[in-house]
Structure 1
Amino acid sequence: MARTGLYKSEVKKARDAVMAQGRHPSVDAVRVALGNTGSKSTIHKYLKELEMEDGGIADRKTSISEALHDLVARLAVQLEEEANARIGEVQTQSTEKERQLNASIAALNAANEVLSDKLSAAEARTQSEVAAHARTAESLQRETITRHTLEQQVADLKERLVENDAHRQSLEAKHIHAREALEHYRESVKEQRDQDIRRHEHQVQQLQGEIRHLQQSLVHKQNEITGLNQDGARLITELSQAQKSIYDLQSTERQHISEIESLRVTTGRIPLLESDSELKNTAIAELKRQLNEVSDTNLGLHGQIQTLQLELAKSTSVVETQQKMFARLDEHLSKGTEKI
């Protein structure tokens, strides 16, 4: 691994130590003397500067092997620089692509979380609507049962109303008959009394001897009149009771009419409840459709995430393969330089 912060004085000291050992101060030899640290390109640059300071290569006699060794060292340095540049470029591209893929994955994960939240909210709303629909259906069932019960009660009340009306008509007929009988009785009594009075006036002077008998007859007639008056009073009492019964029946009839109107109002609410139930069924169907769309979108996002993850794995594999190839190339060049 190259060491950062290599100084020219350290390179000069290492070169002099190699030359003191009777060896050629090549880049690799100087790097070994430095403890296998430092960049070969930096060491080569400092060696060139030191050679220029010492009077240049032209003032020294070098052997062919040293010249070849120096040439190989320069080529190795150049090859290493090009390889490092290529590796850096590939690593930069790979890092950028990996960053973009990670950003895409993060965005897709965020979108997936948002859709998951929407899906959870949609499921919660669906469950709430289903529960509300169940409550509405239960309420509708209760209202239906109540409606049937009320309809039966209305039918019963109508039957009772018909019966009461028939009974009222019967009582009215009896009342009319009683009044007619009373009027007939009064007319009969009046006519009878008129006849008696006329007969009495006509026979008063002729029937002096029969006064006692007539008086007795009169008493008897008066008793009959008293009995008839009592019958009339009784009939009047019965008539009053019949009128009271008619009044009670009329009150009951008004109460039944009020109950029927109340039942009609309650029955009118049933179509509203049925319409509300239909609207809620439509809302539940729409929520289910939205839930299916969100699920389809979620599946598509999962497929995109898996595709991006496969591309990231392929890119990482390519970078690792290239790094291994450059490492083997560097190792091969190092071995070739040491052989020379």
Structure 2
Amino acid sequence: MARSGLLKSDVKKARDLLLAQQINPSVDAVRIALGNTGSKTTIHKYLKELDDDTGHPSPSISESLLDMVARLAAQLQVEADSQMDEIRSQLHEKDREHLEAFSEQKNALVALNSQVVQLESDLAREKTSAAAVQECLQQEALGRHTADQQVVHLKERLSENESHRQSLEEKHQHAREALEHYRQSVKEQRDQDQRRHEQQIQQLQAEMRKLQQSLVVKQDEVTRLNQDGVRLVADLSHARKSAYEQQTYGRQLEQKLEALPVIQQQHYALVSKLEEKDQRLKELTTQISDATNRAAELSKAIHRLELELASANATLAVQEATNAHFRAHLDRQ
């Protein structure tokens, strides 16, 4: 049964039209006249029936061979078109996949480059910060050295003040002992004078005058000693005040020295962070190298597919030329 409603009358009309144009009514010619519709088997069957009905002689062996060759050429053309369509579809799909992969790799490369730029900027800032911290540490070290020297100097001054204070205390103690000794001597002398008062009244009066003179001298000496004692007490108070001030300044310097390890820890943390940034930069550089190699491989694969496509197009051109040669030969027949 004919496909798409092909009737024997349609085949007869196409056959008669070809005969009127003095064209051999082969199966392919009739199918072309029918608008490339209908099965070649059905058309061949109707043509055979029409030949039997009209008594038209059967085609010669050459015509049968040409018809067979034409059918084979058409079949080859169909198969070649199908294969080429499949090859083109595969190539297009591979091209699309390769382009997508290349685009992804390119985007990844751009992202990695951006990360590298950002990391380089962070690294520059970290290096600047590390340099600032290093300078601060050097200044602190210099300040610490200066403070150590000041502490040593203050300790020396404190030792000198302590020695001076001890000397003043010794002098004050000697003055007190001398005053006490003088008082004791005066008391003993008075006791002696009291015992000899009745017996030696004349001598006592003379001695009293001497004693009065001596007492005036002694009083002057006592006054002088008291003044020296007051001055020594004032010097001792001033020395104690100076020592207290030096101790307060020494404690302030010790507090500054205690704060120095915190700055050193911050420096070590910045150095560790800088090393981590350097390691991350090395990893990103390796990733960029891998992405570049992958892009080169994709480019080679695309070039190879382009060569295969060119080869397939050349094969198709040869087949089309062969088919055109067969069609020209059939048309001449």
TM over 0.5: yes
Deviation at 1:114, TM superposition (A): 3.0
Distance 2:275 2:72 in 1: 76
* 1:93-172 equivalences in 2 (<5 Å): 93-172=87-166
Check conservation: 1:94, 1:319, Cα contact below 8 A: no
* 1:174-185 equivalences in 2 (<5 Å): 174-185=168-179
Shift in CA distance, 231/11, structure 1 to aligned 2, threshold 3 Å = farther
The DSSP-based 3-state class of the residue aligned with 2:164 is: helix
Residue identity in the other structure for 1:323? L
**Aligned with residue 307 of structure 1, among 300, 311, 314:** 300
Distance 2:240 2:32 in 1: 133
Distance 1:98 1:23 in 2: 42
Shift in CA distance, 305/6, structure 1 to aligned 2, threshold 3 Å = farther
Distance 1:21 1:155 in 2: 126
Q: Which residue of 2 aligns with 1:235?
A: 228
Distance 2:147 2:24 in 1: 125
Check conservation: 1:12, 1:47, Cα contact below 8 A: no
Q: Which residue of 2 aligns with 1:202?
A: 196
Distance 1:217 1:23 in 2: 184
The DSSP-based 3-state class of the residue aligned with 1:203 is: coil
Shift in CA distance, 38/6, structure 1 to aligned 2, threshold 3 Å = farther
Structure 1 residues 58-67 or 146-155, which shifts more?
A: 58-67
The DSSP-based 3-state class of the residue aligned with 2:201 is: coil
Q: Which residue of 1 aligns with 2:16?
A: 16
Check conservation: 1:119, 1:294, Cα contact below 8 A: no
Shift in CA distance, 193/69, structure 1 to aligned 2, threshold 3 Å = same
Shift in CA distance, 243/22, structure 1 to aligned 2, threshold 3 Å = closer
Residue identity in the other structure for 2:318? M
The DSSP-based 3-state class of the residue aligned with 2:330 is: helix
Deviation at 1:111, TM superposition (A): 3.9
Identical-residue share of aligned pairs (%): 12
Deviation at 1:296, TM superposition (A): 2.0
Distance 2:319 2:227 in 1: 137
Q: Which residue of 2 aligns with 1:248?
A: 241
Check if 1:47 corresponds to 2:43: yes
Deviation at 1:336, TM superposition (A): 0.3
Q: Which residue of 1 aligns with 2:291?
A: 298
The DSSP-based 3-state class of the residue aligned with 1:25 is: coil
Q: Which residue of 1 aligns with 2:25?
A: 25
Deviation at 1:76, TM superposition (A): 0.7
Structure 1 residues 220-229 or 89-98, which shifts more?
A: 220-229
Q: Which residue of 2 aligns with 1:38?
A: 36
Check if 1:89 corresponds to 2:83: yes
Unaligned runs of 5+ in 1: none
Check conservation: 2:31, 2:40, Cα contact below 8 A: no
Check conservation: 2:27, 2:40, Cα contact below 8 A: yes
Deviations 1:17-63 (A, max 9, x none): 334556543346546756xx426xx47445324335xx453454445
Deviations 1:101-134 (A, max 9, x none): 4324423432443354245324423431342233
Residue identity in the other structure for 1:38? N
Check conservation: 1:133, 1:281, Cα contact below 8 A: yes
Deviations 1:145-171 (A, max 9, x none): 221122112202311320232133123
Residue identity in the other structure for 1:296? S
Distance 1:304 1:12 in 2: 61
Check conservation: 1:144, 1:270, Cα contact below 8 A: no
Q: Which residue of 2 aligns with 1:259?
A: 252
Residue identity in the other structure for 2:43? L
Residue identity in the other structure for 1:227? D
| RMSD over equivalenced CA pairs, Å | 3.3
Aligned length: 329
Distance 2:77 2:203 in 1: 177
Deviation at 1:16, TM superposition (A): 3.2
The DSSP-based 3-state class of the residue aligned with 1:38 is: coil
Q: Which residue of 2 aligns with 1:275?
A: 268
Unaligned runs of 5+ in 2: none
Distance 1:10 1:251 in 2: 132
Residue identity in the other structure for 2:46? L
Check conservation: 1:6, 1:38, Cα contact below 8 A: no
Distance 1:210 1:23 in 2: 191
Shift in CA distance, 73/43, structure 1 to aligned 2, threshold 3 Å = farther
Deviation at 1:220, TM superposition (A): 4.1
